[in-house]
Amino acid sequence: MPALARRARFVLCLLGAALAAGAAPLSAQQVADPDDAVAIAEWRARLDDGHVALEGARHRTEAAHDAYADWRQRKYPRGVRKEQLVREVAEAETALAETQAAWQRLQEEARRAGVPPGVLRNYE
């Protein structure tokens, strides 16, 4: 589970960096022509990165809930390990909520930029 948590945090950091670094140029660039392959490819890359981050956050939350349910059933561990499990569940849920909000903002930004609906449909 720690490896999954590290991977999820890494993906979230990448998503945050991609959104922060890439938001200005791509939001300013409107996809006026549906045949503008370069702009559409850039949006697909951003949407792919966002989707990977969202799936990573979902898997992290699922793994945290599974570990917590496992603990509840066996009543093991206690003390510090229990606190770690509870904290991981809370952090995973918070990260999932943040990632979902970032994903919705990215989709809305893509819609406003004029990305063709056929491209966006793949990510719904």
For 12-30, write each residue's pLDDT tens digit: 454 554 544 444 444 434 5
Mean pLDDT of 89-98: 97
Helix axes 80-113 and 37-74, enclosed angle (nearest 10): 160
Which among 91, 97, 3, 86 has a CA at the least distance from the CA of 53?
97
Q: How far apart are CA 22 and CA 49, in angstroms?
A: 12
The DSSP output letter for 33 is: S
**Residue 9: band (very low, low, confident or very high) from pLDDT cuts 50, 70, 90:** low
Question: What is the value of pTM for the model shown?
Answer: 0.69
Mean pLDDT of 52-73: 93
Q: How far apart are CA 123 and CA 109, in angstroms?
A: 14
Using the structure block, give the residue that is written with the tokens 């819609």: 111
Question: Amino acid identity, residue 60?
Answer: R
Q: How far apart are CA 1 and CA 7, in angstroms?
A: 10
The DSSP output letter for 123 is: T
Using the structure block, give the residue that is written with the tokens 């063709």: 116
